């Protein structure tokens, strides 16, 4: 599983890096920065929670085997 962010859709609510700080960080404007694109075992639920809670739909999960 991988996470992706659409930088054009992200407006910097910050929910992703609050909900899953091991996967996401922020740039100087508060926009999402992917810290770990490949989601490690044990962080999949956190990744899903972050994706589901992005108000802009800027995050996506990708099946790494696809
Ligand atoms: S929750 Fe969505 S809009 Fe907010 S910083 Fe994260 S990716 Fe960007």
* Residues 3/34, Cβ–Cβ less than 8 Å: yes
Q: Which of the listed residues 21, 28, 53, 56 should we mutate to test ligand 1's pocket, taking the one with most ligand atoms within 8 A of CB?
A: 56
Query: What pLDDT is attached to residue 12?
Result: 96
Q: In the CATH hierarchy, which top-level class contains the domain 2-62?
A: alpha beta
pLDDT confidence band for 66 (50 / 70 / 90): low
Query: From atom 6 of ligand 1, which residue's Cα is the shortest distance away?
Result: 16
Per residue in 21-61, pLDDT (tens digit) is 999 999 999 999 999 999 999 999 999 999 999 999 999 99
The predicted model scores a pTM of 0.92
By the 10 Å C-beta count (0-12 exposed, 13-18 middle, 19+ buried), 50 is classed as buried
* Residues 7/41, Cβ–Cβ less than 8 Å: no
Query: What pLDDT is attached to residue 17?
Result: 97
Per residue in 4-25, pLDDT (tens digit) is 999 999 999 999 999 999 999 9
With a CB cutoff of 8 Å and minimum separation 6, the contacts of 45 are: none
- Nearest ligand 1 atom to alpha carbon 56: 3
* Residues 5/58, Cβ–Cβ less than 8 Å: yes
- Nearest ligand 1 atom to alpha carbon 5: 7
């Amino acid at each position: 599983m991988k996470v992706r962010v659409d930088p054009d859709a992200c407006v910097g609510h910050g929910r992703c890096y609050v909900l899953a700080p091991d996967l996401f960080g922020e740039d100087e404007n508060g926009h999402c920065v992917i810290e770990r694109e490949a989601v490690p075992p044990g962080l999949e639920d956190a990744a899903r929670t972050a994706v589901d809670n992005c108000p802009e739909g800027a995050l996506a999960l990708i099946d790494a085997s696809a």
